Structure 1
Amino acid sequence: MNAPTSTSKPLLGAGLLTALAASLCCITPLLALVGGLGASASAFSWLEPFRPYLMALTVGVLGFAWYQKLKPAPATDDCGCAADAKPAFTQSRLFLGMVTGLAVLLLAFPYYGARLYPASPTAAPVLAANGATPVWQTATYRIAGMTCEACAQHVEHTVQQLPGVQAVTVSYAQGTAQVRFDAQKSPATQVEKAINGTGYQIITRN
């Protein structure tokens, strides 16, 4: 087996790791929602500033792996022996293509990850309890730590579960969440606790 081929496994492993690291900040919120671990959603948000570099490193590593795979192989190896005619599956172009495809899916996750979230329940009409008039409040929160649409979906889905919440609009680009709720059923402190419970912290409230 020639030397370039023997390096393919470490290259592929490094490519997948960098692709995963580049997307962890957006994959974690979905995993936290599915696993019921709300506070862990922002665990890897600190990686967001490094995402462009991790993406470039992934492309560079996989590009080099493809270069190693596609460049003409010598008829004999360094010892003068005939090179293996049929490499193992993990050394094949098919396997390299599969790893590359998986890396692309990981890198693109922030652009389609929000679609994988379960649909938020439709807000039902809020009925007054014991004849009491609902006490409607609309609050706008500035939130730190959101890095993609998946983060915003996580916050929105969590707050929508509270009783008395009529509408929730979350923007990761602006770092805000606007919530309209019945303060008799879910006081402002409960709404704030739900938002902070996702792992993204409220900075200010208007």
Structure 2
Amino acid sequence: MELIASSQAIKSTEKANFDGFYLGDQAMKTSYLKLDGLMCDGCSEIIERATQKLPGVRRCQVNLDLERAEIEYDPQLMSLETIQKALKGVGYSAEPINETNHLTE
């Protein structure tokens, strides 16, 4: 059995999604969505949980004040349209934001 450093193990697990398969960084895409219908931290949690259950979604971070979500996902396993449909299914509309202007829109 080969032993590895704990820091290497942590990095490996951080790059695995909930199913435990590796999602190489080069395959990941980050998209930004303008969210409609956010009212509280509970809304943010619902959105984060709903997206993180989707195959290929590595991370979702919601900014309640800006009504935006930053979603990191593997486009070979998940499409932005499917993420939008999942959010609509839990009661929120989400429209893509131009990735180069996401900080100023």
- Range of TM-score over shorter length: 0.5 to 0.7
User: Which one of the candidate residues 90, 94, 101 is aligned to 1:202?
Assistant: 94
Aligned partner of residue 59 in structure 2, secondary structure? strand
Matches of 1:194 and 1:170, distance apart in 2: 15
Specify the code of the residue in structure 2 equivalent to 1:151. Answer: C
Bigger share in helix: 1
CA distance in 2, matches of 1:164, 1:179: 11
Give aligned pairs, total: 82
Higher relative contact order (CA 8 A, sep 6+): 2
The 5-angstrom pairing of residues 34-53 of structure 1 reads none
TM superposition score normalised by structure 2: 0.66
**How far 1:169 sits from its partner (Å)?**
0.2
Please tell me whether the aligned partners of residues 48 and 62 of structure 2 are also in contact (alpha carbons under 8 angstroms): yes
SS of 2:35's partner is strand
Gapped regions of structure 2 (runs ≥ 5): 1-15, 99-105
Percentage identity across aligned positions? Answer: 25
| Structure-2 residue corresponding to 1:142 | 34
Following superposition, the deviation at residue 135 of structure 1 comes to 3.0
Query: What is the identity, as a one-letter code, of the residue corresponding to 2:70?
Result: Q
| 2:22 aligned with 1:127 | yes
Instruction: Kindly provide the amino acid, as one letter, of the partner of residue 44 in structure 2.
Output: A
Q: Larger Rg: 1 or 2?
A: 1
TM-score (norm 1): 0.36
Distance 1:134 1:190, change over 3 A: farther
**4+ runs of 1 displaced by more than 4 Å?**
none
Q: Secondary structure at the match of 2:65?
A: coil
Which residues in structure 2 correspond to 1:11-26 (within 5 Å)?
Answer: none
| Structure (1/2) with the larger strand percentage | 2
* 1:123 to partner: Cα distance: 3.6
Give the Cα–Cα distance (whole angstroms) in 1 for the partners of residues 50 and 26 of structure 2: 22
